[in-house]
Amino acid sequence: MNIGPFEIMLIASTMLEFNPLFQAIKIIKTKESKDVSVLTYAAILVIGVMWLVYGIKIGSLPLIIGNSIKLFASLCVVIIYFSYKNKNNK
């Protein structure tokens, strides 16, 4: 398989789908979620679902994989956000 510049950009952009996991790790380390915009991650979830449905509809494996990763990572942030938000309010 020959990997050219376009394929490298696609691989790099898929790896960037893990960015929300870095936010989740920061929340866990600091045990605070006050600086996180949960609406941003909720929007990422909605957009990711739409792209995932579209990727499934057209049978595009890169869209399916990339958006599955994005959904998992964003969902982690939202779950951890509410988990630490409730702990901080007690």
pLDDT for position 88: 62
Answer yes or no: are the C-beta atoms of 73 and 17 closer than 8 Å: yes
Domain ranges of the chain: 5-89
Q: Residue 56's pLDDT band (boundaries 50, 70, 90)?
A: very high
> What is the rounded (10 degree) CA torsion for 18, 22, 23, 26?
160
Topology of the domain comprising 5-89:
Monooxygenase (1.20.1280)
Tokens 């964003």 sit at which residue?
74
Q: pLDDT tens-digit profile of 23-41?
A: 888 888 888 888 888 888 8
Alpha-carbon gap, residue 40 to 29, rounded angstroms:
21
Q: Residue 46, SS3?
A: helix
Tokens 């691989």 sit at which residue?
11
Alpha-carbon gap, residue 54 to 69, rounded angstroms:
15
Answer yes or no: are the C-beta atoms of 13 and 66 closer than 8 Å: yes
pLDDT at 1 over 60: no
